[in-house]
Amino acid sequence: MEIKSLEQTFFKFKLSLHVEKRNGEYVFAVQYDNSLYTTNYIEKFDESLIQALNSIIKNPDLDIRHISLINPNQKNT
């Protein structure tokens, strides 16, 4: 996933997630207002999103309430 900090003064949204299909693969990009979010926060958001997507891919019939946004490494921090 690409993480992009934008140094703009105006944002339509404070945090945006863009998904695009390229060459048969999905590409994700996060754009955020760096005056509101730290790079560390966005990296953790990225990890949580990947964790949730991996859970869905591994078990597409899993009830959404059982999908964890926290990976095992984050549970100990």
Q: What whole-number distance in Å separates Cα of residue 24 and Cα of residue 69?
A: 25
**pTM passes above 0.75:** no
Question: Can you say how many angstroms the Cα of residue 57 is from the centroid of all Cα atoms in its chain?
Answer: 15
Residue boundaries of the structural domains of the chain? 2-75
**Residue 13, pLDDT above cutoff 60:** yes
Per-residue pLDDT at 11 = 64
Q: What's the mean pLDDT in 20-37?
A: 86
Residue at 63: amino acid letter? D
Both structure tokens of 44: 């953790």
